[in-house]
Amino acid sequence: MSREQFRNFVNTVEHNILIKEKLLKCKTSKDIILLAKSYGYSITIEDLHYDKTASKFEFWFKESRINPLK
């Protein structure tokens, strides 16, 4: 459930300049979690770590794409 909350929070940040500005001021993961909580989202430190890992995999898959043989 919290990963869904995390995705919803990210979507909110992308569409709300005020929250985006507050997010830029966060210095720690705990600050991000508290910001999300203040807007009604329940996320965990694991959600933040999962997102980092998912981003690394996504980048790897894009960069390691095998071109088709001609």
Rounded mean pLDDT for each run of 10 residues along the chain, 70 residues in total:
81 92 92 94 86 64 65
Q: What is the pLDDT of residue 49?
A: 80
- The DSSP call for residue 66 is P
> Position of tokens 């705990």?
30
Q: What is the pLDDT of residue 47?
A: 84
Q: What is the pLDDT of residue 1?
A: 54
Q: What is the pLDDT of residue 39?
A: 96
- Using N-to-C axis directions, what is the helix angle for 17-24 and 2-15, rounded to 10°? 110
Q: What is the pLDDT of residue 3?
A: 77
